[in-house]
Amino acid sequence: MKKKIFSGVQPTGNLHLGNYIGAIHNFVKLQNDVTNDCVYCVVDLHAVTNKIEPKVLKNNIRETAAVFIASGIDPKNSIIFNQSSVPAHAECSWIFSCTARIGWLNRMTQFKEKAGKDREKASIGLYIYPILMAADIILYDTTHVPVGEDQKQHLELARDIAQKFNLEFKTPNFLKVPEPLIQKKFSRIMSLKDGTKKMSKSDLSDLSRINLNDNNDNIFNKIKKAKTDNDSMPDNKEHMENRYELKNLYNIYSSLNDQTEAKTITEFSNKNFSYFKIKLAELIISKIEPISKEINKLKKDTDYIDKILKEGSEKADLIASKKVKEIKEILGF
């Protein structure tokens, strides 16, 4: 039996190397495994938990879909769609909000991080968006969800909701309880300026990240200026301890070259930082430049992107509307 894979990316615009290595690169690998059926969603309903500009959001939805396609996700092999075009997501989210418990949401650490100190002014949507995430997953009878360690808590909530619903309405195995596909190696790419912080679009310094639309000169410059330390290049794993910035650069190299950290350590043992940074920049460019060119090409063809999203939404709606109809029948609607 095939695994049913679901995952999504928020249309925040200007996606970066952390998004690619941490999520999208893995999506392509999962799609290329013939034992998987994959559904990839531009989660635009999640995007409105924060202040948005409507025209910017529209462009970001298209750009995120373009990144999916340019990175190798094939609309013929995977469903690509935007969440708001399938009404079952919002409808199912309300139903599951009546299944979930406040105590469960109070334990969600990402709300505390995203809301910051002034939580009283955060939107209700930001507080309950893990329930919408659970609906996203459950609607497609998802068996496996690719997640990083920092997202595992949200998947646990989806599992809790599915199990409680099945138990409460005496419908064993009706809602599938999804399993995590945890990408342990290199799933968290950190800032180029601070190896303890995740690479992020919201970082004020553009030098902290490699954007997928950066040109070659920008990439070389950012890697050249990436923070390292005054110690020598490592010749074993023990020599990497507490060297967060260097470890991050090694993780990027290892991931893009599809090799272990140990092999990267051996490859650059007895070399200097300048040599390593040149090789790293060249590797990033070799992977990112073709994607960047294709993104720019696709962004100009909005009709094609809209067509892909529309066709994907129609396929997704067939699955999700059927599931939410069955859920409503169980509830007595």
Q: Which of 3, 58, 193, 201 is catalytic?
A: 201
Query: What is the C-alpha separation between 215 and 219, in angstroms, rounded?
Result: 6
First to last CA, the chain: 32
What stretch of H or E contains 32? none
Residue type, 66: A
Contact 28, 70 (CB under 8 A): no
Q: Where are the alpha helices (DSSP H) in the chain?
A: 17-19, 25-31, 44-47, 54-71, 88-97, 102-106, 109-115, 124-138, 152-168, 216-225, 244-256, 261-268, 273-300, 302-331
pLDDT, position 154: 87
Burial 297-306 (b: 16+ CB within 10 A, else e): ebbeeeeebe
- Which has the closest alpha carbon to 137: 167, 159, 106? 159
pLDDT score recorded for residue 185:
67
Which candidate in 198, 224, 247, 299 is catalytic?
A: 198
Cα angle 171, 172, 175 (rounded to 5 degrees) comes to 80
What CATH topology corresponds to 206-297?
Tyrosyl-Transfer RNA Synthetase (1.10.240)
Position 186 scores a pLDDT of 62
- The residue with tokens 């809790």 is 160
Q: What is the CATH number of domain 3-188+302-331?
A: 3.40.50.620
Strand, coil or helix: what is 282?
A: helix
Tell me whether residue 222 is one of the annotated catalytic residues. no
What are the pLDDT digits (tens) for 223-248? 999 999 988 889 888 888 899 999 99
Catalytic residue among 3, 58, 114, 193: 114
The pLDDT of residue 202 = 85
The pairing of beta strand 36-42 with beta strand 3-9 = parallel
Identify which of 174, 205, 144 has the alpha carbon closest to the alpha carbon of residue 5: 144
| 198 tagged catalytic | yes
The stretches in the chain having pLDDT less than 50 are none
Give strand pairing partners of 187. none
Distances (CA, A) of 124 to 98, 99, 103, 133: 15, 17, 15, 14
State residue 68's pLDDT score: 97
Do the domains 206-297 and 3-188+302-331 match in fold?
Answer: no
Which pLDDT belongs to residue 1? Answer: 83
Phi, psi of 122 (to 5 degrees): -70, 150
- Conformational region of residue 214, where left means phi above 0, alpha means psi within -120 to 50, and beta covers everything else: beta
Phi, psi of 81 (to 5 degrees): -155, 165
Task: Select from 5, 64, 74 the least CA-distant residue to 36.
Answer: 5
Sheet holding 36-42, edge to edge: 78-82, 36-42, 3-9, 144-147, 179-182
> pLDDT tens digit string along 20-34?
998 999 999 999 999
Q: Please give the C-alpha separations between residue 218 and each of 7, 16, 246, 254, in angstroms, as whole numbers.
A: 30, 13, 20, 21
> Which residues, 6+ apart, have CB-to-CB distance to 164 below 8 Å?
99, 100
**pLDDT at site 165:** 97
Supply the pLDDT for residue 3: 95
Domain ranges of the chain: 3-188+302-331, 206-297
CA atoms of 167 and 306, how far apart (whole Å): 40
